[in-house]
Amino acid sequence: RWGRGLGWPGSGGIRGGAAMDLFGDLRRMNKRQLYYQVLNFAMIVSSALMIWKGLIVITGSESPIVVVLSGSMEPAFHRGDLLFLTNFHDDPIRAGEIVVFKVEGRDIPIVHRVIKVHEKGNGNIKFLTKGDNNEVDDRGLYKEGQNWLEKKDVVGRARGFLPYVGMVTIIMNDYPKFKYALLAVMGAYVLLKRES
């Protein structure tokens, strides 16, 4: 796994001495300083959550930012690209648009292009998707007996992207030890950082 933690020799990672320094710093802090640092950490976490909820309201999407996890949309998007989504229900879905959709029975949303749209007189829309890099359409990915997607299946529509920025997310999902080590280091930094 990536790096096998942070403590192998010669890596410059956290070793026994550095870990002891962290605990020594914690012991030297008085209670007021420790409460202040814990409060700072809580404010950072709550600010991030408020920003995320704000993005959900502004974009109309339950997941306003997603990471491309496969190469099925190459060359339009590559694995690790960060997509920005909107999901305004008034906007009609059109062929050629890139949508992120969820299928019943699958936890991870899929990023693919709309290739066919069937619009009925009553305004109901059904559509079919396909990955740009795939040979066949997505009917094999939909739940059994489902041949078309509907608006309710859409999480959002791609409106912009940042290339490869999401690789950090992929690495953290592929290597959970790295994720926990990174979170521990960030938490320790916030708790132990002193005002100058």
Tokens of 69: 């996890």
Q: Any idea which residues carry the catalytic annotation?
A: 72, 112, 138
Cα–Cα distances in angstroms (integers) from residue 107 to residues 44, 88, 104, 147, in the given order: 28, 22, 8, 19
Q: What is the spatial order of strands in the sheet that 154-162 belongs to?
A: 65-67, 82-86, 154-162, 98-101, 110-119, 125-130, 149-150
Helix count and strand count (H, E) for the chain: 4, 7
Phi then psi for residue 66, to 5 deg, are -135, 160
